[in-house]
Amino acid sequence: MEAHSSPHAQPAAIHVQSRPVAAMLILIGGIIAIVVSAAISICVGAADISISTVWDALFHFNADMTSHQIIRELRIPRVLAGALTGAAFAASGAIMQGMTRNPLADSGLLGINAGAGVMLAVSFAFFPGMSFVSLMLFSFVGAAAAAILVFGTGAFVKGGLTPVRLVLAGAAVTALLLAISDAIAIHYQVGRDLAFWMAGGMQGVEWAQIRIMSPWVIGCLIGAVLLSRSITLLSLGEEIAIGLGQRTGLIKTLGMLLVLILAGASVSVVGAVGFVGLIIPHVARYLVGVDYRWIIPCSAVLGALLIIVADIGARLFNPYSETPLGALIALIGVPFFLYLAMRERREL
């Protein structure tokens, strides 16, 4: 089994290359771009609203004006949800890829999307008509149970949570949960509802959801940045990390916990648009090098930007029946990612 994860083919990749200047530019430019695209996102949609109205709605709120209501109750929560989930998916994907040293890894691999999917299938089949907030909490429970199952399979046995064991346990749990939700969906004929939800979208995001998720997501993003140095060392290989005095078991547990909260909260709000978590870390790694102290914050910024832009697209494409967010993310992300993948050969 060892041969499959062998990172030793390229001993030259031991010293960590990074480009701090590029990373700083991405962080600053990315945040500016997020603010600009957030402003655009608030202005466009089925009803176009001018930027001065947006300003008034924020600072001279008038409850009698419909446009102020739309901005406060629909558009702003939507942009915030996009920024939070994008950052969360991308950062958790970066953590997963760093810890497993597998370019195919993302938060879905911890069973999170599939676990949320099972609970959604159960709630659509047995408790139709749940509120968004209950659906969110319900699917988070599913995500957490799946992650615990994956982590438990890997962690509580002799030899510990090796990267290979983690990805294999993740793939197996994911397949099992997908089969269960498929079976429920086919038997109770809720497949279309489930597919629509999982395809991703932010119509109907409420302030209540933002209030519940934002402290957790922001806290975990900070946690991810604090943990990033250890993740860089772990990405060099288990032996090297131990040799450098890292407590690898503790770091992996913390890392998994961060991934669970970040990705679990995001999936339960916007659905399985986890592709962000797969491609954005690769893009960030290409741009800033293999140091996770830069990859994680840059991934968060780029992920937030990607979801906000894709969500603008989802509304512009066809304002009256929104295009699934996941499809637009792929439409924007795939060509760019493909270009990077073909151009450069690089290590994790």
Nearer to another protein among residue 15 and residue 158 (C-beta): 158
Which of 35, 157, 222, 244 lies at the binding interface for another protein (CB under 8 A)? 157
Stretch of residues binding another protein (CB under 8 A), selected from 211-219, 234-242, 300-308, 320-328? 320-328
Contact in structure between 132 and 213 (CB atoms under 8 Å): no
Asked if 341 is part of the footprint of another protein (rule: CB under 8 A), the reply reads: yes
Instruction: Report the Cα 114 to chain-centroid distance in Å.
Output: 14
Select 226 or 338, whichever has its Cβ closest to another protein.
338
Interface with another protein in residues 173-212 (CB under 8 A):
173, 175-176, 178-180, 182-183, 185-187, 189, 191-192, 195-196, 199
Between 178 and 257, CB nearer to another protein: 178
Binding-site member from 104, 218, 226, 244 for another protein (CB under 8 A): 104
Question: Which of 2, 21, 101 lies closest to 298, judged by CA?
Answer: 21
* Candidates 72-80, 213-221, 300-308, 335-343; binding stretch for another protein (CB under 8 A): 335-343
Contact 123, 137 (CB under 8 A): no
Q: Does 28 bind another protein (CB under 8 A)?
A: no
Burial of 193 (0-12, 13-18, 19+ CB in 10 A): middle
Cα–Cα dist 292/16, whole Å: 10
What tokens were used for 291? 């140091």
Measured CA to CA in angstroms, residue 11 lies from 110, 235, 237 at distances of 29, 13, 11
DSSP code of residue 108: G
- Tell me: does residue 42 bind another protein (CB under 8 A): no
Query: Taking Cα atoms as reference points, which of 109, 84, 163, 81 lies closest to residue 275?
Result: 109
* 346 CB neighbour count, 10 Å cutoff: 15
Token pair for 328 = 């637009």
18 forms beta bridges with 289
Q: Is residue 14 involved in binding another protein (CB under 8 A)?
A: no
- The angle at the Cα of 167, spanning 9 to 342, to the nearest 5 degrees, equals 55
CA distance 118 to 86: 23
Which residue number, 8 or 211, has a Cβ lying nearer to another protein?
8
Q: What is the DSSP-derived secondary structure letter of residue 18?
A: B
Q: What is the closest distance, in whole angstroms, from the C-beta atom of residue 117 to another protein in the complex? A: 13
User: Residue 137 and residue 105: Cα distance in Å, rounded?
Assistant: 25
SS3 for 289? strand
Residue 298 beta carbon to another protein: minimum distance, rounded to whole angstroms: 18
Give the binding range for another protein (CB under 8 A) out of 39-47, 73-81, 246-254, 332-340. Answer: 332-340
* Least spacing, CB of residue 132 vs another protein, in Å: 20
Please, are residues 248 and 241 in contact by the beta-carbon 8 Å criterion?
A: yes
Smaller CB separation from another protein, 179 or 226? 179
Quick note: the x/- pattern for another protein over 213-252, rule CB under 8 A, is ----------------------------------------
Kindly state whether residue 6 participates in binding another protein, applying the rule CB under 8 A: yes
CA 319 from centre of chain: 25
Q: Does 151 bind another protein (CB under 8 A)?
A: no
Judged by CB, which is closer to another protein: 4, or 211? 4
- What residues line the site for another protein (CB under 8 A)? 1, 3-6, 8-9, 102-105, 153-154, 156-159, 164-165, 167-169, 171-173, 175-176, 178-180, 182-183, 185-187, 189, 191-192, 195-196, 199, 275, 278-279, 282, 323-324, 326-331, 333-334, 337-338, 340-342, 345-347
